[in-house]
């Protein structure tokens, strides 16, 4: 099969590309990525010369280029990871989130309709559900939980989800959606909580925590997420939404303290900063549906996954140092500009 993976140079997308090339030796993987600030082509360096891999630097909003790739590759499956994803940035500049996350999704689905595909899969987020109260640990997000967004980012992702379901109903586009809890693991961009805290702690810099750090997130190791998407695109039912989570809830402050402990750093590095506007208090996914229908369960315990993640950052200093310095943004031209 030929699979187009958009946003494949980002955190979860790149892990998915590597996962698919490792587990499906006969499949051809085409990665489309605009290489915005969060896209890092050096993440895919090990597979750039793989015979079953092709990288295309492209914006999913660029209809002409997207159609050209579909014409050339005739994909069977499209998995859309491409998205602006940082809540703080969406609060500062909502427009780019609407353009990429909504209009870009429409372009991809129009291409799927024009050229025909077996499956279009939209990678969404649990943030489309809003948040849950801290004093109700019995409540979880299910696939039937109403959408109730809190930020321009989550609103743009919810809008894309609604558009996907509209294309499924109106045009019979064979589409599925997954909504996952917070991911962590290798190649996580340093602006996100876990890698930011690891990198700052290693440099004995302040560890900025929003508010009092009481916000709760459900954490999932990124490879477990990749396995879930693999199952959905091959065995999931079209027109369905699948929640992906690990019943692994942690308060932000406890995550930061755990990282300090693992790295042997003092907790007095923790600095409390003004809370984010509209900051959701608790996310918690009920993954019963994907377990019952597709047999998926997370395999990585958080205690093991966080240690693997910390060790990865300790052994890949060059990767994140280039991001912090900004040098990574010239990687494409240096390595592949003449290709």
Where in the sequence numbering do the catalytic residues fall?
126-127, 153
Structure tokens at 161: 């989800």
Backbone angles phi, psi at 7, to 5 degrees: 70, 30
Q: How many CB atoms lie within 10 A of CB 87?
A: 18
Name the residue among 55, 75, 69 with its Cα closest to residue 8. 55
Backbone angles phi, psi at 121, to 5 degrees: -120, 125
């Amino acid at each position: 099969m030929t699979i187009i993976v958009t946003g494949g140079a980002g955190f979860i997308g790149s892990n998915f590309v590597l996962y698919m090339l490792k587990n499906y030796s006969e499949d051809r993987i085409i990665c489309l990525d605009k290489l915005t600030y969060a896209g890092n082509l050096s993440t895919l360096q090990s597979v750039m010369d793989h015979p079953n891999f092709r990288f295309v630097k492209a914006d999913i909003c660029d209809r002409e280029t997207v159609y050209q790739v579909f014409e050339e590759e005739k994909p069977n499956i499209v998995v859309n990871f491409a998205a602006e994803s940082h809540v703080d940035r969406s609060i500062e500049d909502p427009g780019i989130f609407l353009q990429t996350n909504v209009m870009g999704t429409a372009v991809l689905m129009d291409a799927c309709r024009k050229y025909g595909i077996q499956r279009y899969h939209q990678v969404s987020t649990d943030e489309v559900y809003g948040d849950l109260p801290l004093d109700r640990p019995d409540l979880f997000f299910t696939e039937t939980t109403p959408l109730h967004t809190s930020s321009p980012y989550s609103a743009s992702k919810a809008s894309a989800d609604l558009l996907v379901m509209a294309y499924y109903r109106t045009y019979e586009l064979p589409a599925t959606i997954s909504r996952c809890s917070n991911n962590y693991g290798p190649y996580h961009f340093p602006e996100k909580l876990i890698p930011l805290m690891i990198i700052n702690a290693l440099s004995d810099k302040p560890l900025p925590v929003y508010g009092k750090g009481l916000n709760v997130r459900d954490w999932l190791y990124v490879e477990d997420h990749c396995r879930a998407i693999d199952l959905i695109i091959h065995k999931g039912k079209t027109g369905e939404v699948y929640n992906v989570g690990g019943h692994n809830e942690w308060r932000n402050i406890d995550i930061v303290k755990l990282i300090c402990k693992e790295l042997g750093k003092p907790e007095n590095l923790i600095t409390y900063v003004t809370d984010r506007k509209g900051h959701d208090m608790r996310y918690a996914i009920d993954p019963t549906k994907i377990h019952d229908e597709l047999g998926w369960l997370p395999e990585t315990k958080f205690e093991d996954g966080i240690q693997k993640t910390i060790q990865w950052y300790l052994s890949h200093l060059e990767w994140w140092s280039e991001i912090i310095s900004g040098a990574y943004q010239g990687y494409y031209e240096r390595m592949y500009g003449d290709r």
